[in-house]
Amino acid sequence: MSEDVLIEARDLSVHYPLRGGSMFGPKPVVKAVESINLDIGKGNFFGLVGESGSGKTTLGKALLQAAPITRGTVGYNDGEVKFDLTQLTPADLKEYRKRAQLIFQDPYAALSPRMTVRDIIAEPLEVMGLTSSRDETDARVREIAEKCRLNLEHLRRFPHAFSGGQRQRISIARALVSRPQFVVADESVAALDVSIQADVLNLLKEIQQEMGLTFLFISHDLSVVAHICDHVAVMYLGRLVETAPTRELFANPRHPYTKALLSAIPSLDPDDRGKAQKLEGEIPSPTNQPTGCKFHTRCPYVTDHCRQEEPILQHSSTGHEVACHRWEELMTP
Ligand code: SF4
């Protein structure tokens, strides 16, 4: 595992068995994540995008050891400790929980209404035994609250007294108080008003740079990802179909699915209106996946080859990877 990589997933798959099926045939399974190879560089703001049902959240959970890994490996190396997440001892898992944290999607549901803001933020320190006195805990809570631009007077109040944006800043403070290295932010601004989203995104970026954190930022919204991420991976039906540095992906998308997602971003340019490539149909069920390329049922460029053989992610020296049999031909004007 390279020294500048924090998370390295190889052939990572998460399958959930379903009840039912015939007594003699294979049991049905949901293939939520299938054969993912992914490197997240240290200090990277890494975006993961796709429609709902594409497996983004399950992949994020697997990287936090919060979803069962069916096959493959996930390496973690922050320079101080190294783990294979599939081989963690209970002591390793405890250590990993300090170093890898989640910011929840819904700031209304994530905070206990019966706890003060101080107690909410302090809870991870107390549960993980990271401080040895109440004074030390209070000092850590105040330090992270200030970083998250929370008014220290508000630490004695309860969450219901706050707006969505303030609640999300409390959630962020809670996730960061244990000084993690890796943070998964799952649709962390989706529940907020558009006017508040930019404020929270700027805060995340500022904190990430100041604390040297590595983020996995999960979103269905490519305009948000373009604003904040250094590198982007696009998921479809449990697979990665394209990954690239953000500028490269937005300037030269290669996969028909990525192109359709990008063209659906509203544009202020009147010449661009009406050019959106509409995505026809629904994402197929992960229990009954199409043969060959998983996008073939919705792709306007499908051929027989696509229906029969699944394309693999092709690497290039620029770091732009794509899984499509026809991407080069489709890029030719
Ligand atoms: Fe479309 Fe074929 Fe490429 Fe799949 S492999 S995205 S069906 S052109």
SS (H, E, C) 274-313: CCCCCCCCCCCCCCCCCCCCCCCCCCCCCCHHHHHCCCCC
pLDDT of residue 267: 63
User: Probe ligand 1: pick from 261, 294, 298, 306, max atoms within 8 Å of CB?
Assistant: 306
What is the 289 CA–ligand 1 centroid distance (Å)?
A: 15
Backbone angles phi, psi at 172, to 5 degrees: -65, -45
pLDDT at position 18 over 60 = yes
34 closest CA partner among 64, 59, 65, 5: 59
Indicate the burial class of 102 (C-beta count within 10 angstroms; 0-12, 13-18, 19 or more). buried
pLDDT of residue 22: 66
* Average pLDDT over the chain, rounded to an integer: 90
pLDDT at position 194 over 90 = no
Q: Ligand 1 atom closest to Cα of 241?
A: 6
With bands split at pLDDT 50, 70 and 90, how would you rate the model's confidence at 273?
A: low
pLDDT of residue 64: 95
Query: What distance lies between CA 300 and its chain's CA centroid?
Result: 28
Instruction: State if residue 293 touches ligand 1 by the CB under 6 angstroms criterion.
Output: yes
Where is pLDDT greater, at 198 or 293? 293
Q: Ligand 1 atom closest to Cα of 303?
A: 2
Q: How far apart are the first and last CA of the chain?
A: 39
Q: Name the percent of the chain lying above pLDDT 70.
A: 94
Instruction: State if residue 299 touches ligand 1 by the CB under 6 angstroms criterion.
Output: yes
Query: What distance lies between CA 51 and its chain's CA centroid?
Result: 12
Q: Indicate which residue's Cα is closest to atom 5 of ligand 1.
A: 324
pLDDT of residue 21: 64
**Domain parsing of the chain, residue ranges:** 255-333
DSSP state letter for 214:
E
pLDDT of residue 199: 87
Q: DSSP per residue over 40-85, as a string?
A: EETT-EEEEE--TTSSHHHHHHHHTT-S---EEEEEEE-SS-EEEG
Instruction: State if residue 311 touches ligand 1 by the CB under 6 angstroms criterion.
Output: yes
pLDDT at position 287 over 60 = yes
User: Probe ligand 1: pick from 239, 258, 296, max atoms within 8 Å of CB?
Assistant: 296
Residue entry with tokens 């340019």: 269
Instruction: State if residue 256 touches ligand 1 by the CB under 6 angstroms criterion.
Output: yes
pLDDT at position 268 over 60 = no
With bands split at pLDDT 50, 70 and 90, how would you rate the model's confidence at 263?
A: confident
Cα–Cα distance measured from residue 325 to residue 99, given in angstroms and rounded to the nearest whole number: 39
Query: How confident is the model over 169-186, as a mean pLDDT?
Result: 94
Instruction: State if residue 236 touches ligand 1 by the CB under 6 angstroms criterion.
Output: no
Instruction: State if residue 239 touches ligand 1 by the CB under 6 angstroms criterion.
Output: no
Q: In what order do the strands lie in the sheet with 214-219?
A: 100-103, 182-186, 214-219, 45-49, 231-236, 239-245, 321-322
Query: How confident is the model over 126-135, as a mean pLDDT?
Result: 93
Instruction: State if residue 325 touches ligand 1 by the CB under 6 angstroms criterion.
Output: yes
What is the 324 CA–ligand 1 centroid distance (Å)?
A: 5
pLDDT of residue 60: 96
Q: Indicate which residue's Cα is closest to atom 6 of ligand 1.
A: 324
Instruction: State if residue 260 touches ligand 1 by the CB under 6 angstroms criterion.
Output: no
pLDDT at position 198 over 90 = no
User: Could you report the per-residue pLDDT of 61-114, keeping only the tens digit for each?
Assistant: 999 999 999 999 999 999 999 999 999 999 999 999 999 999 987 777 778 889
Query: How confident is the model over 31-52, as a mean pLDDT?
Result: 95
pLDDT of residue 172: 93
Q: Ligand 1 atom closest to Cα of 306?
A: 2
Question: Among 223-237, 246-260, 268-282, 318-332, where is mean pLDDT lowest?
Answer: 268-282
218 beta partners: 48, 186
Where is pLDDT greater, at 98 or 21? 98
Query: How confident is the model over 218-243, as a mean pLDDT?
Result: 93
